[in-house]
Amino acid sequence: MELPSKFREIFEIVSIIKSSTGLTNVEVKIKAPLLPGERGCLLLDLEDIMCEADPSIRIWHTPLGDKNTLRNLRGV
């Protein structure tokens, strides 16, 4: 399975896991930083396009972690 050409420069597939319920969970990560609103719209567009070929596909984004520098200073 590969990403549609429109999304190859933005996302990279990290893992593909078929569940026992028949769903295919595709985990992707972003190659370049995007604003949350842009990222959400692109992920939904990617899932819509990939679901046209296989309706059991679900797109998941790799967690980004805590990017808040003030929270990272706790305990210092």
Angle at 7 between CA 59 and CA 11, to 5 degrees: 60
How many other β-carbons are positioned within 10 Å of the β-carbon of residue 46?
A: 21
Whether the model clears a pTM of 0.85, i.e. scores above it, the answer is: no
User: What does the angle CA 19 – CA 28 – CA 24 come to, to the nearest 5 degrees?
Assistant: 20
User: Taking the CA atoms of the chain, what radius of gyration do you get in angstroms?
Assistant: 15
pLDDT of residue 67: 62
pLDDT at 36: 82
Q: Which CATH class is domain 5-72?
A: alpha beta
- Spans of the chain below 70 pLDDT: 64-72, 74-76
